[in-house]
Each structure stands twice: as structure tokens, then as C-alpha cells.
Copies of this chain bind each other. A is one copy, B any other.
Amino acid sequence: MEQRRLFRRSYTKQGAAPGTLAVTDAGHPVSIGMIRFDAEGLEELELDPDAELGDLLQPGKVTWLDVRALGDGAFIERLGERFGLHPLAVADALNVGQRPKIEAYEDFYYIVVRMLELAEDERLRVEQVSLFLGPGWVISVQERPGDCLDGLRARLRKGRKQLRSSNADYLAVQIIDAIVDGYFPVLESYGEWLEEIETRILEQPDQAVLSEVYDVKRDLMTLRRAAWPMRDMLSSFLQEESELLNDASQPYLRDTADHVIQIVDVTETYRELAGSFIDIYLSSISQRTNEVMRVLTVSATIFIPLTFLAGVYGMNFDTSKPGNMPELGWSYAYPVFLGVCVLTAGGLLFLFRRLGWLGGSTKR
């Protein structure tokens, strides 16, 4: 469960001084790409995490440092010193599980967003992406390799004019936008899952479907917990005023904020949908119990009196004594008995039909 992971990470910090660098996911070795561009050209290179960090920035150019995994945190620590990043911000980038937020430091912004992907088991995986936005540079830090930013890189390489000739803040907005757009296919997949669940819940409701509904609900809860603070973060971002931010990026940021609101909207709709599936499931169990009861009641109510009647004529009273079961000695008493049985059963069936108890199983 995502929420458990969330605090276990943070928990490693307990007792430590704030700003302590905790390596949270040492499984992936750190790997760093650098893209440096202006309107004229673009250069792309892979950085060696162990090499000296030279002067990466060039005046008039925008530099994007793309840290694709946390590694043991050492590189990011050096990076932080090189770019003058506040230790708390660096620590937050390493201690994944932060809520999406934007923090204004003296000469840079620290932004946390959450990237979604569907793991192979179709469950939701949430990854923290940290952005540092300074004058002329953007540093992005991901938890694990693999992301949804390849489209953005391709557009940079293709030299789309607007993207190339703009400032670092526009690049940061583009990165956030690409991550937010990555929510839509995830949402769509949950939409399809819900559609499939709806069919099954109407046709064959069992505990397994119900437990899937709860899985979806829980994932949607996680998703909402990722998207909701993104909304707050973006509206804070929109209200920031700084020389790092240009007016020209505002409409794009507003557009991204609109998308997040749409995502929150759809998530809420899906949660309500999942909630209504639970209601339908419960009511269909009640309905089926009712039907089962009706079948039992009809069969028992018809045959119990008849069985009593048959039992009566199976009694061994001495028929030679006066008053004792003269019927047994009558001619054609047996067909009369059978007729009474048929009439009783028929009458009860007619009554049950009028009560609407017989059409139950077909009506479902």
C-alpha cells in the first residue's frame, strides 16, 4: 500500500537532524542527463556522477539537469552544494513521500510533484519528482529511472521554437505539465476497470468483485491524495511573484492547473461510481437472499401441510373401534386424498403468484 510506504520513508528521518540526507531507494544507480539549449541550438550529454561538477551553466542558455535515480544520494548532495540548494530542500528530494508543494527559497524554487504510473500488476505506482528552478537552470530529480518526459525531450530536440527560446520557468512548467498529462491514461485505465466491474457486478456479484471495487477505491484515494495537493501547489505557483517567473508562462501554468482540476473532478466521479457499485452489490445480495427465502417458503409451505395429511392417514388407530379413521375404509378415498393435495398445492401456488413470489428468479 502506497500510504504505508509514504511514512516509512519519512520515518527513517526520526531522531536525525533535519536536513539529514537519507538514501531511500538505493536499488537504482544514479544517472544524470544534461540538456543545454537556447533558440539556436541544443547540446545533450550524460554526466558522470563521480566526476567533478564543472561549470554547467552558460549565460543565455537554459540548462536542464535530469537526475534519473536517487542512487546513494551522494551526487545530489554534491549537486546541492554546487548550486547552493538549501539542505532541507535536498533532503526532501531524497526522502521521497513528500506531498506536492512549492517552496520559495531565496534564489530558487523547490517544487515537489507526484508522477503516476501503472505497474505491471495493474496497480498504481506513485513516484516523487523534485524540481529545482533557478535562474537559467532546472534540476529534476526522480526516484526511479523511466518517466513520462520523453515526449518533452523529443520536442526540445526537434527544436520547437517556442520551447527553445523560452526561459527556465517555461521548461519547469512544461515538465509539470507532462507529468500531469501522465495522469490521464492512468485515470482512463481505472475508468475501464470500473466499466468491467460494473458489468460483473450486475451479472455475477460475488466477494471477489467487491474486493476489486475496494482496490479501485483505495487506488483512487491514493490518486486523489496525489492530485489534490498538486492543485494547491499550482495555485500557489500561480500567485508567486519573482524575477524567476515570466508572465509568458502564466497561461501555460493556468492550463496545467486546469488539467489537475479536471483530474480531481474525474477522480471524485470515479469514487462516487465505486461507492454506488458497493451499494448495488449489497442490495443485490439482499435481493438474492430474498429470492432464496421465497423458494424455500414456497416449497415448504406447500409440502409441509400435505406431509402432515399423509402422516395422518399413516396412523395406526384401530379402525375397528368406532369413530377411528373411517376414511381409510372408504372406496376411492385415495384419489380423493390426492385431489385434496393437488387442490391445496394449487391454491397455495395461486396465492404465491398473486403475492408475486414466483416470478422472482426470472425477474432478476
Contacts and interface: CB of A to CB of B under 8 A. Distances in A.
Interface stretch (A24-32, A48-56, A116-124, A258-266): A258-266
A82 interface: no
B296 A301 contact: yes
A185 B221 contact: no
A240 interface: no
Contacts of A343: none
User: Interface majority SS on A: helix, strand, loop or mixed?
Assistant: helix
A146 interface: no
A15 interface: yes
A74 interface: no
A272 interface: yes
A188 to B, nearest CB: 6
Contacts of A342: none
A45 interface: no
Interface in A307-349: 307-308, 310-318, 321-325, 327-335, 337
Interface centre among A202, A278, A311 (most CB of B within 10 A): A311
Contacts of A46: none
Contacts of A306: 308
A289 B288 CA distance: 10
Given A3-B269, A88-B251, A316-B313, A286 B287 contact: no
A218 interface: yes
Interface string A188-225: 10010001000000101011101100100110010001
Nearest to A9: B184
Interface stretch (A36-44, A133-141, A356-364): A356-364
A107 to B, nearest CB: 14
B300 A363 contact: no
A99 to B, nearest CB: 6
Contacts of A293: 289, 292-293, 296-297
Contact of A17 (B155, B204, B210, B303): B155
Given A15-B178, A323-B335, A337-B315, A3 B191 contact: yes
A258 B10 CA distance: 11
A252 B285 contact: no
7 contacts: A7-B184, A17-B162, A92-B255, A207-B364, A289-B290, A306-B308, A307-B307
